[in-house]
Structure 1
Amino acid sequence: MINQFSILHNKNKKQQVESIVAMAVYQADNAKWLREAVNSILAQTYTNFLFMIVVDGPVPQAIIEVLDEAATSDDRVIIGQNSHNIGLASCMNSVVEFAMQFTPSFFVRMDADDISEEHRLLRQITYLKKHSNISILGSALTEINEKGERVGARVMPASHRQIVRILPRRCSLNHPTVVIRFNVFTDGHRYDGDLLNTQDYFLWITLASRGYIFRNLKDRLLKFRRVNNFYKRRGLSKSLNEFKARLYAITKLRQFSPYNFLYACGVLSLRLMPGKVVKLAYKLDRHLLERFGKH
């Protein structure tokens, strides 16, 4: 089936903008959480952006109402729609293609159930302006539950060397926190539209192998929604894609070692275990990341 992408709302009058914020919305998204996510972007202290939200296939009326309200109240909001669900990677690529006309400098990721801290964009974009060598900038995050209560944190390795060294074992950036310098896309890079998951992991590996520089801020600039089914066993497709990504990283980054290969096999086995085991491993992983990130 060929996807038909169309623009539903666009009251923007600007011909150029510094940043593009990109979000995809799906049928199963929670309308209340979506409103909080959208409002957290529109309330940013940094304002020189367009906020493009792609509706990925049919969604409930409650979600449409949230998006209509946002687009009506703020000219920075642009709503696009796919005729059917095609996945996050293709949605982000559609935003990139549409955004080319505005010659932006930065591409900002945002998810429909998270909350950006008020100064998130100002902090990240100011940092990128001061460090022109960095192309991909992530941050730490605070984990919240369905009620918005803090239940944890996720701090990633900070330096480029640490981020790349750990890529064969895990995705070392929090995707919803990432700001990408737009020249990464004008250089020809895109998310892999054939992937319905792990698309960010594969992209980071490709960019690292091409010499782009990464960085993670220690600031917790996003509240990440960790719902009650977070620890359930992942589907075979996603588990296999993660395994393939680790092998891809080992090869592309030339980090051949028995440890990296055994780690990839071990995580594949773990992903298929009961949720209680996955939860325990997740807590251990958070602890190790916290320790790793301090060095």
Structure 2
Amino acid sequence: MTPNFSIKHSNYRVHEIPAIVAMAVYEKDCADWVDQAIVSIRQQTYNDFLYVIVIDGHISPELLAVIMQHAEEDERLVIIEGSANRGLATCMNFAIDWSLSLKPQYFFRMDADDISELNRLEKQITYLTKHAHVAILGTGLIEINEQNHQVGARVMPQTNRQITRLLPRRCTINHPTVCIRYKVFTDGYRYDDALHNTQDYFLWIELAAAGYIFCNLKDKLLRFRRVNDFYKRRGLIKSLNEFRARFRAMRWLNRLTPYNLVYACMVLGLRMMPSGVVKMAYKLDRHLLEKIIKH
């Protein structure tokens, strides 16, 4: 247990567990959305898991009350509290390290403003049980707005070849949908906690270069919250990190081509454009990705 984290609530009675669902919550998260996220996991058709919620620094009494009410009702919830905001990567790494003694097989990501479909865990575990060579499994998703209305959808490349071939141009795994085999972590891999964004993109590149097999299900098993400022979120630091990730993917995956270089530079420039331009580019990118997947 590091000084930054402590167990705030834990009533679980198991020594081993097949699956861990990990979610970080911080002060700006909406209490209603966190409630919906937690409910969507508690009601899963597959129920042999621990739900590790890491409170990333100070949160409001209202938000804490929502989390603790669920924890009191469901012994599968483990609440970990951080003394200061450390970021998603640090929270996830702590959840991974804390749970290793339970010998889990699967690590599921969940975000505090999203909603998992009720058969998400079951479908991903069923697939991984049948495909032992796959180490990282993502899914498609439905994009929803603040009122839970569908505003879009996203399906990613499905095969390992497609996923790794496109990594120099885009992050080809929807991070909130992912399930990772714990062997990846027992082999020593972790999120880079020096990064406060794009940590998933860098991890996928590292794992792809090491030869781990990726896959995405076509099924849309998560409702991803796309709020009004979605197209304004990427500041200069995140845009530069994405550029660094693309360049690393080119080098580590032997795909340093003029096309990939030009693409990375164009995306970096696009991130600096007004939100209306970014929105148009986002829709075009989704359209092009669908065509690539079909072919």
For the aligned pair, the TM-score class normalised by the smaller chain equals: over 0.9
Using the size of structure 1 for normalisation, the TM-score is 0.98
Residue pair 1:233, 1:272 contacting (<8 A) in 2 also: no
Deviation readout 1:2-36 (Å, 9 max, x if unpaired):
96110100000100000000000010000000000
Deviation readout 1:129-177 (Å, 9 max, x if unpaired):
0000000000000000000000000110000000000000010010000
Aligned AA for 1:53?
Answer: I
3-state SS of paired residue (2:45): coil
Deviation readout 1:198-221 (Å, 9 max, x if unpaired):
000000000000000000000000
Pairs within 5 Å for 1:16-165: 16-165=16-165
Separation in 2, partners of 1:232, 1:14: 44
Separation in 1, partners of 2:220, 2:47: 20
How far residue 290 of structure 1 moved from its aligned partner, in angstroms, is 1.5
What residue in structure 2 maps to residue 196 of structure 1? Answer: 196
How far residue 62 of structure 1 moved from its aligned partner, in angstroms, is 1.1
3-state SS of paired residue (1:45): coil
Separation in 2, partners of 1:267, 1:75: 45
What residue in structure 2 maps to residue 223 of structure 1? Answer: 223
How far residue 233 of structure 1 moved from its aligned partner, in angstroms, is 5.5
What residue in structure 2 maps to residue 250 of structure 1? Answer: 250
3-state SS of paired residue (1:140): strand
What residue in structure 1 maps to residue 6 of structure 2? Answer: 6
Q: Find out whether 1:174 has 2:154 as its counterpart.
A: no
Aligned AA for 1:72?
Answer: E
Separation in 2, partners of 1:121, 1:13: 21
- Runs (4 or more) in structure 1 with deviation over 2 Å come to none
Using the size of structure 2 for normalisation, the TM-score is 0.98
CA 1:188–1:225: 2 relative to 1, 3 Å: same
Residue pair 1:233, 1:271 contacting (<8 A) in 2 also: no
What residue in structure 2 maps to residue 275 of structure 1? Answer: 275
The percent of aligned pairs where both chains have the same amino acid is 57
Separation in 1, partners of 2:110, 2:204: 17
Separation in 2, partners of 1:187, 1:234: 32
* Count, aligned residues: 294
How far residue 287 of structure 1 moved from its aligned partner, in angstroms, is 0.7
Structure 1: runs of 5+ lacking an equivalent: none
